[in-house]
Amino acid sequence: SAVISQKPSRDICQRGTSLTIQCQVDSQVTMMFWYRQQPGQSLTLIATANQGSEATYESGFVIDKFPISRPNLTFSTLTVSNMSPEDSSIYLCSVGTSGGHQQFFGPGTRLTVL
Amino acid sequence: KQEVTQIPAALSVPEGENLVLNCSFTDSAIYNLQWFRQDPGKGLTSLLLIQSSQREQTSGRLNASLDKSSGRSTLYIAASQPGDSATYLCAVRPSDDYKLSFGAGTTVTVRA
């Protein structure tokens, strides 16, 4: 398994600002994923972030809104840019292990946009 | 596109009762299926992983079965406790990709 930490655990932000969420893993992993969970909804994949390549975004998500960095095999950041109340969600990072056989999730970042 | 459905959406039982949570998926070409637990406002905890070649997995009071051909998985929790109260999510990984498709979850309340 992998131990994953996220910072911040929660934040309340003003409309129009940006927030960067950090994800740290205790071991080297190739695949990292960023998910969004809107209130009362299930998880939606935002993008896949593999080290050494540009992040791959899912339909409905764009790099200008959700820029991602993956500088090494244990760390990634997701920025939520120009926030609106609709961005209020839990944002979760996860990692795939052993060829992606299993995914483990971080504790999540609870974002509220006023 | 894979569709994952979880029934029921919510479940309330008295302590000690056995829980049965259902997950169905539309495309049987899966690599594996995972069951997760999520406490309110928190991240996901992996409970059980079933490979496509397996029929079931067990961990303590938890048992998950998989019938790939019919597109179904069931999570059984024996002798439920108030600490089992949470939302349970199933997620399917397709055989040709690494991206998980999630169900909407079943929210369980175990009454003391």
B10-14 and B19-25 strand pairing: unpaired
Please give the average per-residue pLDDT across B4-17, as a whole number.
95
Q: What is the pLDDT of residues B94-106, one digit of tens each?
A: 888 888 999 999 9
CA distance A90 to B34: 20
Looking at chain B, the whole-number percentage of residues with pLDDT higher than 70 is 100
The Cα of B111 is separated from the nearest Cα of chain A by a number of Å equal to 22
CA–CA separation, B49 vs A88, rounded Å?
A: 30
Mean pLDDT value of segment A65-72: 94
- Give the contacts of B70 (CB within 8 A, at least 6 positions apart): B28
The answer, for B5 touching chain A at a CB cutoff of 8 Å, is: no
pLDDT bucket at A98, cuts 50 / 70 / 90: low
CB contact under 8 Å between B44 and A92, yes or no, is yes
Amino acid identity, position A98 = S
| Contact criterion met (CB < 8 Å) for A92 and B103 | no
Q: Which two tokens stand for residue B49?
A: 């992983």
Q: Is the peptide bond before B82 cis (omega within 30 degrees of 0)?
A: no
